[in-house]
Amino acid sequence: MRRLGLFLAVFAMILGIATVDAQARKRFISIGTGGTGGVYYPYGGALAEIWTRYVKDVYAVAEVTGASVENVKLVNRGESEVAEVMGDVAYEAYYGLGRFKGKRQKIYALFVMYPNVYHVVTLKNSGIKKLQDLKGKRVSVGAPGSGTEYMSSLVLPTVGVPYESFKVYRLSFVETANALKDGTIDAGVWCVGPPTSSIMDLATTHHIYIVPFSDEEVKKVTSKYKYYSRAIIPAGTYKGVDYDVQTVSVWNVAIVNKDLPEDLVYQLVKAVFEHQDYLLKVYPGAKYTVPENIVKYSPIPLHPGVVKYLREKGIEVPERLLPKD
Determine the average pLDDT of the residues in 137-141.
98
End-to-end CA gap in the chain: 65
Helix (H) or strand (E) holding 316: none
Q: H/E/C letters for each residue in 188-254? A: EEEEECCCCHHHHHHHHHCCEEECCCCHHHHHHHHHHCCCCEEEEECCCCCCCCCCCEEEEEEEEEE
Q: Is the bond preceding 261 in cis, omega lying within 30 degrees of 0?
A: no
The pLDDT of residue 4 is above 60: no
Q: Cβ atoms within 10 A of the Cβ of 325, count? A: 7
Whether 302 and 323 have beta carbons less than 8 Å apart is answered as: yes
Identify any residues that bridge with 138 across adjacent strands, giving them in sequence order: 167
Whether 107 and 76 have beta carbons less than 8 Å apart is answered as: yes
Q: Cβ atoms within 10 A of the Cβ of 89, count? A: 30
Identify any residues that bridge with 32 across adjacent strands, giving them in sequence order: 63, 83
Tell me which amino acid residue 124 is: K
The pLDDT of residue 311 is above 60: yes
Residue ranges covered by each domain of the chain: 2-113+252-321, 116-250
User: pLDDT by residue (tens digit) across 45-93?
Assistant: 999 999 999 999 999 999 999 989 999 999 999 999 999 999 999 999 9
Banded pLDDT at 24 (limits 50, 70, 90): low
The contacts of residue 152 (CB under 8 Å, 6+ apart) are 141, 142, 189, 191
Model pTM score: 0.81
Banded pLDDT at 106 (limits 50, 70, 90): very high
Instruction: Report how far apart, in Å, the C-alpha atoms of 167 and of each of 54, 137, 162, 163 are.
Output: 48, 6, 10, 7
User: pLDDT by residue (tens digit) across 192-217?
Assistant: 989 999 999 999 999 999 999 999 99
Distance (Å, rounded) from C-alpha 267 to C-alpha 116?
26
Tell me which amino acid residue 281 is: K
* 2-113+252-321 classified as CATH 3.40.190.10: yes
The pLDDT of residue 22 is above 50: no
- Quick one: 51 exposed, middle or buried, by C-beta within 10 A (0-12, 13-18, 19+)? buried
Tell me if 2-113+252-321 shares its fold with 116-250.
yes
Average pLDDT, the chain: 92
Identify any residues that bridge with 249 across adjacent strands, giving them in sequence order: 117, 229
Architecture of the domain whose range is 116-250: 3-Layer(aba) Sandwich (3.40)
Distance (Å, rounded) from C-alpha 284 to C-alpha 193?
10
- Quick one: 57 exposed, middle or buried, by C-beta within 10 A (0-12, 13-18, 19+)? exposed
User: pLDDT by residue (tens digit) across 149-158?
Assistant: 999 999 999 9
